[in-house]
Amino acid sequence: MSDAPLNRINDLIHGKARLGIMSLLMTYKEGDFNFLKQKLSLSDGNLGAHIRKLEEADYIEVEKTFEKRKPKTVCSVTETGKEAYRQYVHALEEMLYGEEHDDDDSP
């Protein structure tokens, strides 16, 4: 397999819903289900399915609790997820700017 940037695009992150989830969690450190749902305009079922995929890959951690008798789901990015996201962004930057692009600007 070639080491070309296109071949290093992480398909699990690249889907627009999962990219949105990962980007929000990288920015805000954590987010509850309703926050992610509102920001991404996803249905409960759609968001839940994408969260499960990211959790199964160990990209995010999901904590389920109850607040005033209502379920609350809070997601945060794991170290594995952070590294995968950084590599994804780096591959995109290489495609856009070439290999000489400075890594210091990456999240």
Q: Where are the domains of the chain?
A: 5-95
Taking the C-alpha atoms of residue 95 and residue 89, their distance in angstroms, rounded to an integer, is: 10
91 residue type, one letter: A
Domain 5-95 part of CATH 1.10.10.10: yes
Tens place of pLDDT for every residue, the chain, 107 residues? 457 767 778 888 999 999 999 999 999 999 999 999 999 999 999 999 999 999 999 999 999 999 899 989 999 999 999 999 999 999 889 988 987 555 555 55
Q: Which of 16, 79, 10, 85 minimizes the C-alpha distance to 47?
A: 16
